[in-house]
Structure 1
């Protein structure tokens, strides 16, 4: 109740009938009271949601559940300093990242059954992992039963120790997850990789018959002359964008997804050429074995797997091993691209969203189940600010027109 209303009622109670009812005064919660929160939903059985009771059940006869069908909060107050003005929503299939201001969670990434969260904090603990960990893709988490072994499943957000030289100065800017490997980008100590390196996707030499379960290897990538400003994990490959707008890659290249002009394996970060040679790239996207890149001028380039028509505008080939310029007409200046399991999306500087590819289970959102061979605008009631693609679905963050 507003304070002025209390005074008015006090005056009326004392016989002052002529007292005018004041205009209502509302008190709004201040910015400082808002908290950064994390919400999760989807397949829970792997532990990727960080909700142990969904996997183990609870007392009182509550049974385990495989699916969390609605967004549910994950309590991180004991682990992450509260702050920020946005919430993070994650889907189990791949990464969907939303920044949080101040000192809350700033980056979230979803791999195949596991999740990483990162905070741009100067505290010692900066990254948390949960879910599948059979390849140590969320770090080494020592078993309480056998101190020589690590957990292959982590059911709640758990700190991931990083071998930082200056842990109280360095911040983790971004995390990205693939099928069974992860990349972590810092502000001044480069990139760290962990998990499965069978194809060199972690940017280190391949070791025959290497055991990844219980591994404590967290590799620091520091081979480049230019500073890395963005990391992107594909299924078993990795992309790195530098401050100069160049793209480097490593890992599995059977579909041409490394963009290096061959279909082999590469364990050393190698600069990609093709149609992006000399072009200032400002964003990369990849999912599975298909890749897109956006230039500062708003052009789009693609390479990798094209069995779902993603690159049909320039070739009938299903495997493309060098970046190709995609001459899309009528889409404006592109500022962001996103890759899905069978489809792709681009977002222009007017907030317009275009999609194309195989329309698996209606994932394109074009009002039909037809496949789309070139970018088609999606009718969205608002200006699209951000977009993410899953295996067979999409998410868009919008602002209303008015």
Structure 2
């Protein structure tokens, strides 16, 4: 962190000379104060929720069962963290440096989803209690940068800027994009799979569901692999597929810029603000007919058409969430949707009042710019960097200082400007920028 020294000696000395004449040598001894001033590239990381599995990244906190309020992660003070991803009980951090290690992980590691780690004080019983380096087989570690991370139930996907994609962890359904090995042992595994490109194009975005993975290429095409029992791979069938293949349906010929998933339902967003979906639609998440519960090809979500241009999407375990360019948030599906305790299901997108996200006559320009979701909790970030959460508050994962469920969006007391939020099953991590 940069610091700037500002001396008040001159001002104080002038005042002293006028009112109380003193020796100039004494005035030189007046204190000089240093005020910390952050760079625009400085980052902080806060975590909260279930702590005992180590996913919060603080070994001391792991002695507690859970942490109910955002806790600043000291690891991020030593490393320039550029991305975070929460899996099912584990967390991965991407750092920007010229050293060997670009990714660190902590939490549950029973399937080597955060790399191979020999038994140690900080990672007993398949748990890594403090961020530990993940050794990626990079050809040029000094120049390669990690652009994005994505985490599933027990696997991790790492996207680099010039060496493609790396996957590690459980591959029982082909979610790592490599051939399935029957009875493969994932505990203590050192296998890291490399995917240089897909369809002859570089991958620009990655995303994980529960046991499947999705990739967006520079041409805006979506590829998927993994478990397909609910049609979540979007390949036109319900079988397991290890080879990353192009998702078919209404997304073909469309420039997709983002895909979202937490479990078995997927949403995709185009550069024109259109929304597409495939996978599990048991709770009406995809706006299909009531008789349809699994959609195995991508379909345009017609119910989002009247909402205007969509700028962000999120998909939880049984609900979906979108925000339009006016900063209005819409939610549908089943669960605690943010509309109060009496509304737990909606087949169509329903608007959450903007006043609940801080828009009022004193701050009329306030609007939500991004949304995210875990299995059963949701979050939204405004253009002022303010975080709001709601939903099922499992082990304090909402960061509100208690463990009661929250039926309306409520502001989280994070001591920094929130840039990105990653929601797991029972914990949450926020990547932030200091206010000053």
Flag whether TM exceeds 0.5 (same fold): yes
Query: SS of the residue aligned with 1:274?
Result: coil
| Aligned residue among 2, 10, 14 for 2:16 | 10
Tell me if the contact between 2:196 and 2:202 (Cα under 8 Å) persists in the aligned partners.
Answer: no
- The residue correspondences of 1:27-106 to structure 2 (distance < 5 A) are 29-32=36-39, 35-55=42-62, 64-76=63-75, 79-80=78-79, 104-106=80-82
- The residue correspondences of 1:89-238 to structure 2 (distance < 5 A) are 104-144=80-120, 152-222=126-196, 224=198, 225-238=200-213
Q: Which has the higher contact order (CA 8 A, sep 6+)?
A: 2
Query: SS of the residue aligned with 2:139?
Result: coil
Q: Which string of whole-angstrom CA distances, capped at 9 and with x for unpartnered residues, describes residues 154-179 of structure 1?
A: 10011111100111111111111000
Q: Which range moved further: 308-317 or 254-263?
A: 308-317
- The residue correspondences of 1:374-385 to structure 2 (distance < 5 A) are 374-379=348-353, 380=357, 381=359, 382-385=366-369
TM-score, normalisation: structure 2 = 0.76
Matched, 1:273 2:272: no
Structure 2: give runs of 5+ residues left out of the alignment.
1-6, 23-32, 360-365, 386-436
Structure-1 residue corresponding to 2:338: 365
Query: SS of the residue aligned with 1:375?
Result: strand
Q: Which string of whole-angstrom CA distances, capped at 9 and with x for unpartnered residues, describes residues 111-152 of structure 1?
A: 01100000132221111000000000000012359xxx9961
Q: Distance in 1 between matches of 2:251 and 2:153?
A: 26
Q: Which range moved further: 126-135 or 35-44?
A: 35-44
Q: Distance in 1 between matches of 2:188 and 2:76?
A: 28
Tell me if the contact between 2:311 and 2:369 (Cα under 8 Å) persists in the aligned partners.
Answer: no
Q: Which range moved further: 67-76 or 368-377?
A: 368-377
Q: Which string of whole-angstrom CA distances, capped at 9 and with x for unpartnered residues, describes residues 277-296 of structure 1?
A: 11111111011000000111
| Aligned residue among 308, 313, 317 for 2:283 | 308
Q: Distance in 1 between matches of 2:61 and 2:247?
A: 43
Shift of 1:79: 4.7
Q: Which range moved further: 336-345 or 249-258?
A: 336-345
Tell me if the contact between 1:313 and 1:374 (Cα under 8 Å) persists in the aligned partners.
Answer: no
| Aligned residue among 288, 293, 296 for 1:321 | 296
Q: Give the aligned length.
A: 355
Query: SS of the residue aligned with 1:255?
Result: coil
Query: SS of the residue aligned with 2:250?
Result: helix
Shift of 1:54: 3.0
Change (3 A) 1:139 1:30: same
Structure-2 residue corresponding to 1:389: 373
Shift of 1:74: 1.6
Matched, 1:343 2:319: yes
Change (3 A) 1:141 1:150: farther
Q: Distance in 2 between matches of 1:271 and 1:324?
A: 14
After TM superposition, what 4+ stretches of structure 1 lie above 6 angstroms from structure 2? Answer: none
Query: SS of the residue aligned with 1:69?
Result: strand
Structure 1: give runs of 5+ residues left out of the alignment.
17-25, 56-63, 81-103
TM-score, normalisation: structure 1 = 0.83
Shift of 1:339: 0.7
Shift of 1:42: 0.3
Change (3 A) 1:369 1:393: farther
After superposition, the CA RMSD in angstroms is 2.4
Query: SS of the residue aligned with 2:279?
Result: strand
Q: Distance in 2 between matches of 1:47 and 1:221?
A: 29
Query: SS of the residue aligned with 1:9?
Result: helix
Query: SS of the residue aligned with 2:143?
Result: coil
Structure-2 residue corresponding to 1:398: 382
Query: SS of the residue aligned with 1:39?
Result: strand
